[in-house]
Amino acid sequence: MVRHLGSGGAAAAPPVGGRELAPPRSEEEEDAGGAGQHPPCQAGAMEAAGAQEPGGGGCSCCSGSSRPRCRLPWARKTPGTKKKFTCPGLGLFYTILSAFLFSVASLFLKKIEDVHSVEISAFRCVFQMAFVLPGLIYYKTGFLGPKGKRVFLFFRGFLGSGAMILLYYAFQVMPLADATVITFSSPVFTSLLAWIFLKETYSLWDLLFTLFTITGVVLIARPPFLFGSNIIGIEGSYTNHLKGTIAAVISAVSTASTFVILRKMGKSVHYFLSIWYYAVIGLIVCIVALFVIDEWTLPYCGTDRFLLILIGLLGLGGQIFLTKALQIEKAGPVAIMKTMDVVFAFILQILFLNHLPTWWTVGGALCVVASSSGTAIRKWQQNSKKAKENEI
């Protein structure tokens, strides 16, 4: 039997299982966190003998330490266990970038002349199909989806594409900021529809947020029976302004309906399939609508054609960055940061369209943004509370 002598001459512990134990580390060495030299162990001999430590936790000389320091194969970290580096705030940056891309696409939409909103929507659908198709092939998701989910996918595509067409129409006939603010009310309608169809909780706070949203929409629409016949700060006639307001409200409700459908489907359907249905059904709806209203015309100038391509690319980029943001960041902060849509809309409208918003529009925007942000914060708090209760 071989004995190791410590600094005080004390005998080391006897070998266990034919192996010799290294002398225990002093308290100063342990507190230093590995700053001192690790005492030599029998790693080489054991590795040569092909010995393996039960459980793969490390050699006996490190058994008393919280961090193994020897280089045995079983003490090394297995590949893939290292925590991935995440940049703080990256998800929120993606959200802001998505909002900016969507806002610029809306600005280009205002710049296009003599092209109907339905035709612009058709071009957007074509671009989405072209970019989503390789993803469907790569992930082998198929083109129809699970049998039990195809009805939901159909209505998701129909309502989503309808929301896009109505939103583009609203952008064309009313100020950019007004249309953006109204469509931003979709989270409030989502809570209401989720209460009706999914039996989710609908509190007094949700009712208050809904009333605030309706107030904001009224301030933007400014109906003559409340504000008189002399309406300022609108584009064109009040009839078009009212049509745009109605289209924006229906677009917000349709968007909220797609959110409810996506919640119903859960994670059982790949998000590429959801976008695929959105693009295919949207293209079919656009083609049928264009034949009915007889508005199919190619843009006359090269600038409009170039802007159409940019609208498709920017819209796709905005969706990609928004999806990435939701993958790495909680939904609550993302929903709050999406208020930048409204900020960018006001800035672009002032800088490039020379259209100053009225105080009525600003007041309506504050009501809608406060309601949407409040709804997002409450939903975030409720989900966090449920997650903590499940952990307990």
Backbone angles phi, psi at 138, to 5 degrees: -65, -45
Dist CA 376 CA 188 (whole Å): 9
Which residue positions in the chain have pLDDT lower than 50? 1-60, 62-63, 65-77, 81
Tokens of 381: 């708090």
Q: How many CB atoms lie within 10 A of CB 327?
A: 10
> Residue 319: its pLDDT value, please?
80
Q: In angstroms, what is the C-alpha Rg of the chain? A: 31
> Residue 332: its pLDDT value, please?
65
Q: How far is CA 223 from CA 176, 242, 371, 391, in A?
A: 19, 8, 21, 51
> Residue 249: its pLDDT value, please?
93
- Across 23-103, the runs of DSSP E, i.e. the strands, are none
Dist CA 275 CA 224 (whole Å): 40
Tokens of 128: 């989405």
> Residue 36: its pLDDT value, please?
41
Residue 283 in contact with residue 125, Cβ under 8 Å?
yes
Alpha helices in 198-301 (DSSP H): 204-221, 224-227, 238-265, 271-293
> Residue 18: its pLDDT value, please?
46
